Structure 1
Amino acid sequence: MTGLFVGVDVGTTRIKAVAVDTAGKELQCAERPTPWRHDDYHAETDPARLAELAGAVAAEAAAASAAEPRVLGVGVTGMAETGVLADAADRPLAPAIAWHDPRGDVETIHRELGAEVFQRTTGMRAGPLPSLAKLLWLRRERPETAAAVRFYSVGEWVVRRLGGEPVAELSLASRTGLLDLATARPWPAAAELLGGRVLLPDPVVAGTPAGRAGGEDVPAVLRGAVLTVAGHDHQVAAYGVGAATDGALFNSLGTAEALVRTVRPPLPPERVGALTEQGMSVGWHVVAGHLCVLTGLPTGLTLGRIAALLGVTTAEGRAELSRRALAEPGGHPTLRLVDPRDDHFGLAGITDDVTPPRLWRAVADGLADHAETLLGRIDAQVGPYRRVVAAGGWLRDPVVLAAKRRRFPAMQTTAIAEPGAYGAARLAAEAAGMPLTTTEG
């Protein structure tokens, strides 16, 4: 059968879509900026607009791929934690708050559940990131949200608006704080904090068929396609490049850097607790029967800030800065990056001979060192990785690539431009019963 599969990745910065043929070949891509409304450190979006834009981007990629495109399946991946509270008629009751937004009722989680119990049970750190913290904040600040009967993660919401079934996907449910990791079912104690409402159905694995696209608001080119929720974007990207296997490490270098380890269960609660206490997360994988251990660091964000600090504002300028940095004979003896976080970083050991190229190289090396430290903490709990695959836009920077190669000499890279969207297309093909033939990874 001839036709196309479309993968959609609803990311923090952009909504991307890629159309692939039944041999797994990428045909066309499309993208639009993610439509956030910003207010200081707060960011939120209109759920209807988000879904509409995701459908439009998917249709654009499909329409550009063939004169008369036939879309056989659509898979949707995207950011985790962000989601939509809906009433019994599937009407959104509040904006979708960004995962990185600091709003969240963490105090109630600590007081009513206890940080250690929460972390061992859910695999998520007891902070503002899990969806539960934002749901509790909304319940307090927006009383109308008490009428909610369903929480959709972003990928689930887009599938629903395309005409799909109201399913919960396991890897996304694992990021909500509403799921008991051990049982892979909704956690009653979390539901009690939300007035006894269980906002998640029993989750399904990524790639499970979730109905067909349809409805007058759905782009015509997508109607009739099998739909699936592809799951959490970092894991789907790992799946897309063949790095979602036992013992594999997927290193994604975008605005945020992600270290994604695929492991087989069981993982005892004490090890889950040890990982979450150090800022890692543990959840179910998009690959059936596997867990994902994930941690992130602000690599692209920090590099972007350093470039701006140096007055380098274009891709060409960064390329020249990297060329000069690679020409340096080696690292600076005292200059080092300190404590890189989402909202700040530090520099120590600045001397008179620190030049922009030396600073650029020192920051890239410092970020690579930080990632290696975090990876060592994961390895201590789940065992060592045996294979590394890396992807992401910052790998195109020669200094960043060189820093990674020094630490991972056998590191593999990929030619796939959008691993998340490509992985979603692969899962769409699985849902349609037509697995893609691909040699990637």
Structure 2
Amino acid sequence: MYLGIDLGTSEVKLLLLDGEGRTVGTAGSALTLSSPEPLWSEQDPHDWWRATQAAIAKLRAAHPAEFSAVRGIGLSGQMHGAVLLDAANTVLRPAILWNDGRSHAECVELGTAAPRLHNIAGNLAMPGFTAPKLLWVRKHEPETFARVKSVLLPKDWLRLQLCGEKVSDPSDAAGTLWLDVARRDWSDELLAACGLTRAHMPRLVESSEPGGVLRPELAKAWGLGAEVLIAGGAGDNAASAIGIGATQPGDGFISLGTSGVLFVVNDRFAPNPTSAVHAFCHALPQRWHQMSVMLSAGSCLKWFCALAGADESTLLASLSQNDSAVNAPIFLPYLAGERTPHNDPFAPGAFYGLTTQTTRADCTHAVLEGVAFGLADGLAALREAGTEVHALSLVGGGARSAYWAQLIADALDAEILVHDGSEAGGALGAARLGWLATGASVDAVCTRPGIAARHVPDPERHARLASRLARFRDLYRRLRGA
């Protein structure tokens, strides 16, 4: 048995996988965000550990015999977060998360301090990345920065609790702007630009390699054996790729979680930072990937549910696939700024075109459509970077909605595949990495799940959406800087 732990932004998700690759059970525990200032997004790392322990208790209670047979644990997690530790491994301040936008000025400073940043890290400096966050702390919280002895990414702080080791992997580390992505190793040059050295960084192992052994006291408390390996693990999107078997060049998927990601596998490091496309290491050796990222995707629907006073299933049930939604307003999904293609932390969210005839269903459609249009912008940026795709798998919570999947297919003019267990996302990939760490082969483990649904783009709907997409893009241009 193999356990996947996926530390998301809104939930810690666990998945138990058997030796035949079947999902035995899942469990989760919710998390909350703190935003004490505009553009800020933080969490207390201790809440991650409490949520992990609560989810472990649920999974053990539901599947006691299977859980006791766990031999390997894999980790997946939200990328870019900064967990700052002192010499005693005490957390110095709340973790600054991937969707935090406070460090926009520091991005400019980093570009000046590290003129070769784009060549080495392969990415633009954006507030979401880890390096600008440390520059912000150095400037605004100098007493805290002076005490920093270690910087860990979120999933790697969980690993520290699990096994006492400070370890990361290239896929997650690539999102810090401190990694030489082609060499899959820390860059002394980029670290120095932030007043840091390798001594502040965890050691690196590949995602599928062992990265520690579960603490004996935890193994005993959880009823496990003495030698439970913990894999290097991966950033959430690379882990999701492992979960749906996206391992070969050209394989790709869309992740609809809190954020929205379009991910395509490459066999080489292929950066194109000018279009805000990310070029990161994949979770397998000698693999890289390109990625477009929108900061608000599933979170847009969650926000609108709260605004409308209705749950997700109620809102989605009000939509009809045959409705052209010509009367729906245009929705800009930039509730937390945007990355690809705009790199604009101040991008505003908006409804445009509301009338007295606008219904709640119209607004629900507009929210889903706005996210689909954001993904279309991301695909356009990937195409400018030389990547072409015709079919994409859909993973994450958004994969539960057939309406949304078809809307994305029509907007992108690409076939969208929904796999069995697609909503598992990074947790399944994490469990598979735990399996690989015990010595299993990639071919045996990283198979593609069965196709549960296939959404083929409709030419008529694509044509109708094209005019709305043009209005969507024009609206952003008009509002930028307003």
TM more than 0.5: yes
Residue of structure 1 aligned with 2:222, choices 215, 220, 223: 220
| Aligned residue runs from structure 1 range 155-166, under 5 A | 155-166=155-166
- Equivalents in 2 of 1:282, 1:101: separation in Å? 20
Which residue of the partner structure matches residue 232 of structure 1?
Answer: 235
Q: Which shifted more, 398-407 or 250-259?
A: 398-407
| Structure 2 residue 208 is the aligned partner of structure 1 residue 210 | no
Question: Corresponding residue for 1:394?
Answer: 398
**1:77 corresponds to which letter in structure 2?**
S
**Quick check: 1:13 aligned with 2:7?**
no
Deviation at 1:35, TM superposition (A): 5.3
Residue 332 to residue 439, structure 1, CA distance change in 2 (3 Å): closer
In 2, distance between residues paired with 1:108 and 1:426? 35
Q: Per the alignment, do residues 402 and 86 of structure 1 end up closer, same or farther by CA in structure 2, a change over 3 Å counting?
A: same
State the alpha-carbon separation in 1 of the partners of residues 360 and 252 from structure 2. Answer: 32
- TM-score normalized with structure 2 length: 0.80
**2:449 matched to 1:440?**
yes
Task: Rate the CA distance shift 1:49–1:276 in 2: closer, same or farther, 3 A.
Answer: same
Aligned sequence identity (%):
24
Q: Which SS does the other structure have where 1:347 is aligned?
A: strand
Structure 1 residue 362: deviation in Å?
4.0
In the alignment, what sits opposite 1:337? 331
In structure 2, what is the Cα distance between the partners aligned to 1:46 and 1:263? 35
Say if 1:93 and 1:145, in contact at 8 Å, map to a contact too.
no
- The Cα of 1:375 is off from its aligned counterpart by 0.5
Correspondent of 2:425 among 414, 419, 422: 419
How far off is 1:7 after superposition? 0.1
The alignment's C-alpha RMSD in Å is 2.8
Separation in 2, partners of 1:257, 1:430: 27
Q: Which residue matches 1:45?
A: 43
Q: Equivalent of 1:278, from 272, 275, 278? A: 275
Aligned to 1:326: 321
**Alignment of 1:170 onto 2:174:** no
The whole-number CA distance in structure 2 between the counterparts of 1:49 and 1:302 is 24
**SS of corresponding position for 1:71:** coil
The aligned amino acid for 1:167 is V
After TM superposition, the structure 1 stretch with the greater mean CA deviation from structure 2, 416-425 or 149-158, is 149-158
Matching residue of 1:429: 435
Q: Distance in 1 between matches of 2:384 and 2:210?
A: 37
Q: Residues 18 and 115 from structure 1, CA distance in 2 versus in 1: closer, same or farther, beyond 3 angstroms? A: same
For residue 288 of structure 1, report the CA deviation from its aligned partner. Answer: 1.6
Deviation by residue 1:346-372 (Cα, 9 ceiling, x = unmatched): 333445554333343344334323312
Deviations 1:386-430 (A, max 9, x none): 431112222333431221232456321112131210110000000
Aligned residues: 428
- Write the distance in 2 (CA, Å) between the matches of 1:358 and 1:342: 23
**C-alpha contact 2:327 2:358 (8 A) present in aligned 1:** no
Change in CA separation of 1:14 and 1:256 when aligned onto 2, cut-off 3 Å? same
Q: 2:196 and 2:378 mapped to 1: Cα distance? A: 37
1:43–1:352 CA distance, 2 compared to 1 (3 A): closer
Which residue is 2:120 aligned to?
A: 121
Given that 1:6 and 1:62 are in contact with CA atoms closer than 8 Å, whether structure 2 keeps it comes out as no
Task: Map 1:271-310 to 2 at 5 A.
Answer: 272=271, 275-297=272-294, 298-309=296-307
Task: Show the counterpart of 1:264.
Answer: 267
Partner SS, residue 430 of structure 2: helix
**Contact 1:263–1:382 (8 Å) recurs in 2:** no
Change (3 A) 1:115 1:129: farther
Question: Counterparts of 2:41 and 2:330 in 1: how far apart (Å)?
Answer: 32
C-alpha distance in structure 1 between counterparts of 2:44 and 2:356, whole Å: 50
Rounded to whole Å, the distance in 1 between the matches of 2:435 and 2:213 is 13
Give distance in 2, aligned partners of 1:209 and 1:162.
13
Deviations 1:56-85 (A, max 9, x none): 424542453233622101111100111322
Secondary structure of 1:377's partner?
Answer: helix
8 Å contact 1:105–1:136 — kept in the other structure? no
> 2: CA distance between counterparts of 1:177 and 1:187?
9
TM-score with structure 1 length normalisation?
0.87
Which shows bigger deviation, 282-291 or 398-407?
398-407
Q: Kindly indicate whether the alpha-carbon contact (under 8 Å) linking 1:18 and 1:58 is maintained by their aligned counterparts in 2.
A: no
Q: Which has the higher contact order (CA 8 A, sep 6+)?
A: 1
Cα distance in 2, alignment partners of residues 55 and 65 from structure 1: 15
- Whether 2:78 is the aligned partner of 1:79: answer yes
- Aligned match of 2:361: 357
Seen in structure 2, the aligned counterparts of structure 1 residues 408 and 425 have a Cα distance that, compared at 3 Å, is farther
- 8 Å contact from structure 1 (residues 122, 180) kept in 2: yes
